[in-house]
Amino acid sequence: MPLLPSQALIDEGDPPADLPVCDHYCGTEARMRKALALQAELGPVFDITLDCEDGAPIGAEAEHARLCADLALSADNRFGRVGARVHPVDHPAFQDDVDTLVGRAGDRLAYLMVPKPRHLADLQQAIAHIEHAARVHGRGAALPVHALVETHGALRDVQALAALPRVQSLSFGLMDFVSAHRGAIPQAAMGVPGQFEHPLVVRAKLEIAAACHGAGKVPSHCVVTEFKDEAAIAAAARRAAREFGYNRMWSIHPSQIGPIVEAFSPSVAEVDAAIAILLAAQAADWAPIRHQDVLHDRASYRYFWQVIGRARRTGQPLPAEALLAFYGDGALA
């Protein structure tokens, strides 16, 4: 029996996590429940991040964290793709956020997002407390950590942040990053197309993406605040995916989810070509082949296998022949 692509196309190091391409943030109870209902309708093509930082009313942080934990525990979390953002590590509510979320829902959470680390030590401290909470409560032992790169120090330490074993993804925090420059970066760089043109913002985006890819982690692109402008969100998502090397992107409004998923999806032509090349390679026992007068070997096979992975993560149907050939009998169950 021919080897499956996952058996034949072994790459160096562990592959990045197969995260959905969209990470949808919501903070109020009504919006969190609406997001869960939409995820049940569309399937796990996007993650939901329940926001305990900006979403929590001042003075009611503990109650909000309990609400987020209970929603993650509920039957509405159908796919196990619900995470939560906690307060920064130096905020008085940080430890309570972690203790509540891990203690009540640790094994049902997909990840915890840590915002605003000022440097490597901040993220290490946050992870140490998350691991302590998992030991104390007996839940969340394998809980991944995502982090926001939005300060000068975090960007300076980005390679070390990405190398931390528990870190699964790094996101770019555009708004705080621009604000940290105290007016040296104009407001236009917070919008589209300015955030893809200002050199300091472009540098930050590229350094984060490069660090993540070098460490086998998932780079997640920042928000687009023009949430009613579908053309703007679609253009930004395409540039993030095609030019800046991002595998994932934030949504801050339900209307942004569809354009993001579509922009990060391979085209039908790309999927068809990937299927044809991989089927021919598999038939040749993964030796080099010629396809439409172009030479392909395992280096390009790995690329086309990644195209198939993106197609599945974005909910694109694959022919039964390809599913059986690439994933075995279990894919058709």
| Binding residue positions | 85, 150, 176
Binding residue ranges for substrate? 85, 150
How far is the C-alpha of 16 from the C-alpha of 65, rounded, in Å? 29
The end-to-end CA distance of the chain, in Å, is: 19
Q: Dump strand ranges (E) for the chain.
A: 22-26, 46-51, 82-85, 112-114, 145-149, 167-172, 218-221, 248-251, 289-291, 294-296
CA distances from 153 to 120, 183, 186 (A): 8, 18, 21
Task: Give residue for tokens 């440097």.
Answer: 119
Residues linked to residue 48 through DSSP beta bridges, in sequence order = 24, 82
Query: Angle at CA 324, nearest 5°, toward 318 and 330?
Result: 105
Q: 45, 113, 55: which is closest to 78 by C-alpha?
A: 45
Residues linked to residue 167 through DSSP beta bridges, in sequence order = 145
Q: 163, 156, 151: which is closest to 116 by C-alpha?
A: 151
The pair of three-digit structure tokens given for residue 7, joined into one six-digit string: 């058996």
Binding residue ranges for Mg(2+)? 150, 176
Q: Please return the burial class of 41, using the count of CB atoms within 10 Å of its CB with bins 0-12, 13-18 and 19+.
A: exposed
